[in-house]
């Protein structure tokens, strides 16, 4: 399929066990034969009838009469529209990031802003029903709309958390994490300074090594009602 594609195959995309084909007009038995070649006793595919519109993962791809493709978000009928609850005991940045990531996702897979706003309406209603502040939703929509489609598809390298010193702490919504972070950075600076100052502990090689890393907070789950019961009692 990949190295020796059939003549009718224009484009082939795969995500794990989901396959998507763009083909020139073809005879059905040729398509069926190709599917049979990549099937065996352990791998069988449910094949959708070839059409000008197909659902693939969380998108619906439509071949327009002008030859262009139109892409719209797709969700199954069983999708509940439930997301992380705003009163959940998660860090505030996680709560704020939830609507942003969801709106950004449908922006990325919408061919036009008209399509984006059409599907964003239901998502806005879902977030409001869950209790997300209206101001947060409006601000998030404004941020997402300003994102250019080309930038949305650029690969971004995430920060390598594994190359950092991790300070593990149970999360508590009542703690001032900005002050906590400032104190953590100050402590880290004092440690490096400890090995650069003249004296019996001076070790510039170790100081340089420490300076190559950063410090990151890692939040562990806080105790909840379930934590007070044994495994046997929970059963």
The residue-averaged pLDDT of 78-93 equals: 83
Q: Which residue has the higher pLDDT, 215 or 158?
A: 215
Cβ proximity of 169 and 219 under 8 Å: yes
CA distance 64 to 47: 22
Q: Percentage of the chain with pLDDT > 90?
A: 14
Tokens representing 7 are: 């003549």
Q: Is the pLDDT of residue 151 over 80?
A: no
- pLDDT the model gives residue 127: 92
Q: Percentage of the chain with pLDDT > 70?
A: 88
The residue-averaged pLDDT of 81-96 equals: 84
Angle at alpha carbon of residue 32, lines to 27 and 34, rounded to 5°: 100
Give the residue from 64, 75, 123 showing the smallest Cα distance to 98.
123
CA distance 220 to 176: 16
Q: Within 13 Å and on the Cβ side, how many CA atoms surround 24?
A: 6
Angle at alpha carbon of residue 123, lines to 53 and 68, rounded to 5°: 25
Q: Is the pLDDT of residue 121 over 70?
A: yes
Angle at alpha carbon of residue 234, lines to 228 and 235, rounded to 5°: 165
Rounded-to-10 torsion of CA 185, 186, 189, 193: -170
Tokens 């719209």 belong to: 72
**pTM of this prediction?**
0.64
pLDDT band for position 136 (50/70/90)?
A: very high
Sketch the domain layout of the chain as residue ranges.
9-73, 92-152, 161-234
Name the pairing type of β-strands 18-23 and 214-220. Answer: unpaired
Q: Is the pLDDT of residue 161 over 60?
A: no
Residues 162-187: b if buried by 16+ CB within 10 A, e if exposed: eeeeeeeeebeeeeebeeeeeebeee
Tokens representing 2 are: 């990949």
pLDDT band for position 224 (50/70/90)?
A: low
- pLDDT the model gives residue 135: 92
CA distance 134 to 113: 21
The residue-averaged pLDDT of 61-88 equals: 86
Cβ proximity of 41 and 33 under 8 Å: no
- pLDDT the model gives residue 14: 87
């Amino acid at each position: 399929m990949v190295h020796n594609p059939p003549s009718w195959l224009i484009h082939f995309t795969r995500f794990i066990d989901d396959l998507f084909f763009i083909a020139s007009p073809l005879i059905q038995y040729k398509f069926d034969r190709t599917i049979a070649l990549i099937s065996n006793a352990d791998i069988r595919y449910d094949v959708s009838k070839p059409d000008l519109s197909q659902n693939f993962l969380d998108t619906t791809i439509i071949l327009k009469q002008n030859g262009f493709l139109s892409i719209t978000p797709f969700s199954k009928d069983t999708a509940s529209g439930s997301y992380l609850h705003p009163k959940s005991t998660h860090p505030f940045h996680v709560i704020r990031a939830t609507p942003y990531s969801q709106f950004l996702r449908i922006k990325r897979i919408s061919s036009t802003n008209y399509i984006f706003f059409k599907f964003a309406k239901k998502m806005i209603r879902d977030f409001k029903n869950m209790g997300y502040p209206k101001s947060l939703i409006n601000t998030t929509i404004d941020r997402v709309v300003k994102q250019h489609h080309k930038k949305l598809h650029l690969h971004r390298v995430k920060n390598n958390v594994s190359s950092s010193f991790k300070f593990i702490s149970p999360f508590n919504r009542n703690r001032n994490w900005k002050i906590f972070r400032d104190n953590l950075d100050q402590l880290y600076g004092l440690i490096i300074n400890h090995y650069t100052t003249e004296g019996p502990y001076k070790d510039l090689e170790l100081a340089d090594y420490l300076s190559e890393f950063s410090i990151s907070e890692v939040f562990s789950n806080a105790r909840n009602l379930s934590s007070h019961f044994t495994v046997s009692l929970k059963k």
